[in-house]
Amino acid sequence: MDPTTRARLVDELRQLLRHGNAHVPLAEACAKLPAHLLNHAVPDLPYTLWQLVEHIRITQWDIVEFCLNPAHVSPSWPAEYWPGPEAPGTAEGLQTTLKQIAHDRDRFLAALDEPAQDLFAPLPQGTGQSLFREAVLIADHTAYHTGQIILVRRLLHNWS
C-alpha cells in the first residue's frame, strides 16, 4: 500500500477509535454519570453501568495486548471479561477505567502509526487477525457496549 493511502486509512481508523464517527463516543456516554447509578441494577438486564464500562476496558486491553505482545495470554471467557458484583464501581474507579481505555487505545494507535506495520498482514500469534481487523473489532465492540450504556442511562432516567 502506498504511504499516502496508508496514512489516510490510519487517520480514518484513528477518527473511528477516538471519536466514534456516527456513534456517541464512550467518554461522552459516561460524562456526568452520577456515582450512585454506577452499580444500580435495571430489572431484566444482566449488567450495571460499571460492569459495562469495565468490560469495555478489559476487552480492549486484551485485544491491544494480543496485538502488541505475542506472549500475551487472554483472560478466561466470559468470567474474566466481566467484573463481578463483589467489585462495585466508584466515581474514582470510573475515571481510572476511562483513562486506561484511552491509554490502551493510544498504545494501539501508536502501533498503527508505525510505517513498517502491514495493517492487513496476519499477526504471527493469531489465527488470521490483522491490525486492521482488530482496530475494527475494538471500534465495533466499544460502540456496541456504549449504546448499551446509553440505553441503561435512559432506563435510569439519566440521559437526555
Q: What CATH code is carried by the domain that includes residue 126?
A: 1.20.120.450
Q: What share of the chain is helix, strand, coil (3-state, %, to 5)?
A: 60, 0, 40
pTM score, whole prediction: 0.96
Number of domains in the chain: 1
> Is residue 37 one of the residues assigned to a domain?
yes
> Is residue 77 one of the residues assigned to a domain?
yes
Residue type, 117: Q
> Is residue 88 one of the residues assigned to a domain?
yes
> Is residue 66 one of the residues assigned to a domain?
yes
Chain segment 53-109, per-residue pLDDT in tens:
999 999 999 999 999 999 999 999 999 999 988 889 999 999 999 999 999 999 999
HSE (CB half, 13 Å, CA atoms) of 160? 2
C-alpha angle 152/155/159, rounded to 5°?
75
> Is residue 160 one of the residues assigned to a domain?
no
d(CA 85, CA 11): 38
Residues 6 or more apart whose CB falls under 8 angstroms from that of 61 comprise: 100, 104
